[in-house]
Amino acid sequence: KMTLKEKIGQLYQSAYFSDVVTGHERDTSQTLEGIRNGQVGSILSVHKEEVLYQLQKTAVEESRLGIPLLFCFDVIHGYKTAFPINLALSSTWDPDLIERVSKAVAYETSHAGLHLTFSPMVDIVRDPRWGRVMESNGEDPYLSSVLAKAYVRGYEQKDLSHPHAVAACVKHFAGYGFVEAGKEYNTVDISERVFRNIVLPPFQAAIDENVSMVMTAFNVLFDRPATASTFLLKDILRQEMAYQGITISDYTSTEEVINHKVAKDERDAAKQCFNAGLDHEMVSTTYKDHLEALVKTNEVSIKDIDRAAGRILALKKALGLFKNPYRNFYENSEQYMLQDDTKALALEASEKSMVLLKNDAVLPIMSTKKVGLVGPFIKNQDVIGEWNALAEKSDVISIKEAFDQGDYNTVYVDDDNLDRLSECDVVIMALGEAGNEAGEGNSKVDLHLPNHQQALFDRVRKVNANVVLIVFAGRPLIMTHYDDHASAILYSYQPGTMAGRAIYNLISGTSSPRGKLTMTFPRHQGQIPIYYNHYSTGRPLNPDKPNYRYNSRYRDCSDAPLYPFGFGLTYGEFTYADLILDKETLKDEDAVSVSVKVKNTGPMKATETVQCYIEALTYSVSRPVNELKAFKQITLEPAEEASVTFRLTLQDFRSYNVDMVYTAENQSYKVKVGSASNTTNSVILNVIDAIH
């Protein structure tokens, strides 16, 4: 029944506001007229319920066919209740928690009348200068794949018609996390082997969970803009990865292919992007303005238009919008926001996401101790981070508020009254970067805390050297000075609504820290990019000869990171012993059982994330010195011991070899198990793969 114009209309996502990022201002009358004419398929970033209702009413009651609109919004780590930023959430290493968080986020989002969130972001990241690392799952493809599935399950709940579900959009396809110099929207130049081994797995994981939408990346990859890449969108995504859902551009990335110098004008951009396999255009109007003419000149196929429009209509049907286009519209949706159980989950997520980087036996702090509170982030509620949707700073529990309600005898001092800290047993100092210093468009070359904050830290420790440092940040910062001088460091990232309460619980020992880093922390920003799963060099550093000149090292800085991937302390002490394989050789469809004994030798109950890595001792191409393949979390009482077992198959040892065959080859591997990626606890396994 649809005209060509109406079909093309389904391929257009309109911004219904004037404050847009890259132009394209359209007044409300233009958007409404487009909706009446059936020339708008979805709406971006509208959240006011009365406006959503009016837009949907216009589409359903005033357009010729009454096709409902799809309402999309960037709900990244919470809608009204702010959960920790995604990089922090990944530090929980807890897919069950991620799924529960996503389900809670979907609950608030769906009851605001919205249908789709542009999440999860699964770009693998290695450069903390890039502001968007805060949205990511970190630097490891295996962990990101596990968490990608959890996000999609939580959002979509395996039934998009469920009243509490929202559709998910995985992004950014592909390679965006490798932007050169950590600079936003910059070019990407990686090998196909890195692309297949590192970049693609989390996207495949999301597709395996039936994610509804895939968003393209802003960057060039293999010399083509991702938004206009037939190789990415057809050869890889549709054919190899068997993706059946919708593809959507990022914000105006269709017309930006002109700036990439591969299209001469918007008509050419529309032709290239659509024929490459891009279904839905966000905000820019190259499809709306040019696809009809391109069909008439046989430069674009009407069958492809039908397929693209059909995918969008199918999603609307799956969401139940044809049956009830006004689903989850209420006179007052506030009743569904900031509910007690949602805030309790946000508290749990905040506690589990924070990473204890250092502890010189000062934490937890006994309630009998006198505690000083100092620093610009003690009272500051700006700890939500970017992509905060409708979460408000006024709802955030600050550190001072949490301690005011707690059991400690506390002394709060400002910067001009530091002498009072000398009477305290311990000082809690909160420093960090503001919430808007990370996120999209916030690349930075200087990853130190501001000079005035370091100066304050140095002044404080001269008054009282027993300083527990709390750090709020959206990325790994350079913590070397503080690691040298603080008694303890709790890296809190940007933890959201329940920030202060979570910190109080961890400081007091009500909860034990358990977070593990998912990005390597450099000791100097000159080491960037630094990541755990790097290749070996032909002249690796010899630790017995640290000053030997002719090997891979810095002459003015340690080669090692300050904190490695997977690192994080607890209030327990975990020892590893008796790492055993149940066979010496793995082949065919068999599996190898990897077991290790883990004991808590510390004074407190704690949770440990036991991590299993492999290392190819030889292979036809260079492979990473470490590859995460499994992890498990265990909670042990003091002096309690448990046996942890992992099951690895041939698939866990496979990679793309010199002939681009996905195989483990017939090689020997180290299997390593420990508390972080720098573990040396290993055994040797021989692997025989018939595919080689």
Q: 495, 84 in Cβ contact below 8 A?
A: yes
Mean pLDDT value across residues 291-307: 98
- For residue 266, is pLDDT > 60? yes
Q: pLDDT value at position 27?
A: 61
Q: pLDDT value at position 588?
A: 86
- For residue 22, is pLDDT > 60? no
Sequence-ordered list of residues with C-beta below 8 angstroms from that of 545, at least 6 positions apart, any chain: 551
Residue 524: band (very low, low, confident or very high) from pLDDT cuts 50, 70, 90 = very high
Q: pLDDT value at position 691?
A: 85
Q: Pairing relation of β-strands 574-581 and 591-600?
A: antiparallel
Residue 507: band (very low, low, confident or very high) from pLDDT cuts 50, 70, 90 = very high
**Exposed / middle / buried, residue 405 (Cβ in 10 Å: 0-12, 13-18, 19+):** exposed
Q: pLDDT value at position 17?
A: 64
Q: pLDDT value at position 273?
A: 98
Mean pLDDT value across residues 618-623: 97
- For residue 25, is pLDDT > 70? no
- For residue 112, is pLDDT > 50? yes
Report pTM. Answer: 0.97
Mean pLDDT value across residues 76-86: 98
Q: What is d(CA 520, CA 336) in angstroms, rounded to the nearest whole number?
A: 38
Q: What is d(CA 525, CA 548) in angstroms, rounded to the nearest whole number?
A: 23
Sequence-ordered list of residues with C-beta below 8 angstroms from that of 346, at least 6 positions apart, any chain: 78, 81, 82, 83, 104, 496, 497, 498
The active-site residue out of 123, 127, 250, 268 is: 250
- For residue 184, is pLDDT > 80? yes
Residue 594: band (very low, low, confident or very high) from pLDDT cuts 50, 70, 90 = very high
Residue 250 annotated to the active site = yes
pLDDT in tens, 486-497: 999 999 999 999
pLDDT in tens, 224-261: 999 999 999 999 999 999 999 999 999 999 999 999 99
Cis amide prior to 115 (ω within 30 degrees): no
Q: What is d(CA 499, CA 20) in angstroms, rounded to the nearest whole number?
A: 31
- For residue 187, is pLDDT > 70? yes
Share of the chain above pLDDT 70, in %: 98
Q: What is d(CA 244, CA 452) in angstroms, rounded to the nearest whole number?
A: 52
Q: pLDDT value at position 528?
A: 97
- Structure letter (DSSP) for residue 305: H
Q: pLDDT value at position 19?
A: 41
Q: What is d(CA 274, CA 277) in angstroms, rounded to the nearest whole number?
A: 5
Cα first-last separation, the chain: 52
Q: pLDDT value at position 24?
A: 54
Report the chain's mean pLDDT, rounded to a whole number.
Answer: 96
Mean pLDDT value across residues 381-409: 97
- For residue 18, is pLDDT > 50? no
| Ordered strands of the 585-587 beta sheet | 585-587, 682-688, 667-674, 606-616, 627-636
Q: What is d(CA 17, CA 45) in angstroms, rounded to the nearest whole number?
A: 9
Q: pLDDT value at position 23?
A: 47
Mean pLDDT value across residues 468-486: 98
The secondary structure of 371-385, three-state, reads EEEECCCCCCCCCCC
Sequence-ordered list of residues with C-beta below 8 angstroms from that of 134, at least 6 positions apart, any chain: 85, 86, 87, 385, 386, 387, 438, 439, 474, 475, 493, 494
Q: Pairing relation of β-strands 116-117 and 167-173?
A: parallel
Helix, strand, coil distribution of the chain in percent, nearest 5? 30, 20, 50
Mean pLDDT value across residues 414-418: 91
pLDDT in tens, 123-182: 999 999 999 999 999 999 999 999 999 999 999 999 999 999 999 999 999 999 999 999
Residue 541: band (very low, low, confident or very high) from pLDDT cuts 50, 70, 90 = confident
pLDDT in tens, 59-78: 999 999 999 999 999 999 99
Q: What is the dihedral of CA 220, 439, 96, 118, to 10 degrees?
A: -60
